[in-house]
Amino acid sequence: MTKITSTKSETIKRLKRLMTKKGRQESGQFLVEGEHLVDEAIRAGRLVQLIMGESYRPKSSWRLDEMLVLELSDHVADLLSETEKTQGVFAVVKMTPVERKMKHVLVLDRIQDPGNLGTMIRTADAAGFDTVFLGKGTVDPFNAKVVRATQGSLFHVNIQSVDLLDTLPELKSLGFHVYGTALSNAKSYDQVAFNDQIALVIGNEAQGVHDDVLALCDTRVHIPVIGEAESLNAAVAAGILMYRIALQ
């Protein structure tokens, strides 16, 4: 096992390219940081390379092929970190989608905030949703902030970038009932008997679901505001609706 001590090494340049959307798309790989996410990547069989700062001690449960391990000086490892206090452990991970039988699908239209997207993926996993479709204009799901906010759930659900104007009609032809969130002409979600095979569409934080996408939805639902707030946070709204669907 060699140790990389120079911040200028070609390997470091390659790894830093994974911190950009372009670099991730070209390689079909992304970078995760922190013991919990690395552990999830290993358990999901998605590990390409394990990267450790010299002062990090790996979890004893990891049975690692030495060939896959790269050691770095701590100051070099710091270059890869996007957190304030790094644990000094990273993994290069394959983007391979998780295969899931589709039944409960979350559909996201132009979600902008990385924390919101990651939280929605985490909640989708918790609520037993199997698939998350990301429409054009949604933040890159392999962005470090998104990955961190998923808390590992991106290894448990099928996440795919799609064109919603194609995907929603396909889902409908497969027997899915498509629910879109909207403020007007919408039923209060607690008055809706949700179908068995469903797709739930959540829209952009400020603008909601685009009209062209909403036109493809079978039923419009909303969460009533009882107090004086103008609206709910998108990730909270998604959580309320997904759990209602899961436990109705």
For a second copy, which is the closer residue by CB, 20 or 188? 188
Using a 10 angstrom Cβ sphere, with 0-12 exposed, 13-18 middle and 19 or more buried, the burial of residue 85 is exposed
**18 CB-side CA count, 13 A:** 26
Q: Locate tokens 């200028």: which residue?
A: 8
Choosing from 15, 42, 127, 168, the residue that interacts with a second copy (CB under 8 A) is 127
Paired residues of 53 in beta bridges: 72
CB neighbour burial string for 144-153, b if at least 16 within 10 angstroms, e if fewer: bbbbbbbbbb
243 binds a second copy (CB under 8 A): yes
Give the integer Cα–Cα distance in Å for 12 and 4: 8
For a second copy, which is the closer residue by CB, 114 or 135? 114
Cβ distance 71 to 5 under 8 Å? no
Looking at 97-210, list the stretches that DSSP marks H as alpha helix, in order from N- to C-terminal side.
114-126, 144-150, 164-173
For a second copy, which is the closer residue by CB, 150 or 167? 150
Site for a second copy in 62-121 (CB under 8 A): 115, 119
| Count of chain residues binding a second copy (CB under 8 A) | 37
In angstroms, give the least distance from the CB of 63 to a second copy: 21
Paired residues of 231 in beta bridges: none
Choosing from 29, 123, 131, 143, the residue that interacts with a second copy (CB under 8 A) is 123
Taking CB under 8 A as the binding criterion, the range among 24-32, 76-84, 87-95, 217-225 that sits at the site for a second copy is: 217-225
For a second copy, which is the closer residue by CB, 80 or 143? 143
**x-marked contacts with a second copy along 149-188 as a string, rule CB under 8 A:** x-xxx--xx------------------------------x
In angstroms, give the least distance from the CB of 236 to a second copy: 4
129 binds a second copy (CB under 8 A): yes
225 binds a second copy (CB under 8 A): yes
Give the integer Cα–Cα distance in Å for 148 and 20: 15
In angstroms, give the least distance from the CB of 64 to a second copy: 23
Task: State the CB neighbour count (10 A cutoff) for residue 177.
Answer: 16
Looking at 177-225, list the stretches that DSSP marks H as alpha helix, in order from N- to C-terminal side.
211-214
- Which residues are at the interface with a second copy (CB under 8 A)? 115, 119, 122-129, 149, 151-153, 156-157, 188, 190, 223-233, 235-237, 239-240, 243, 246-247
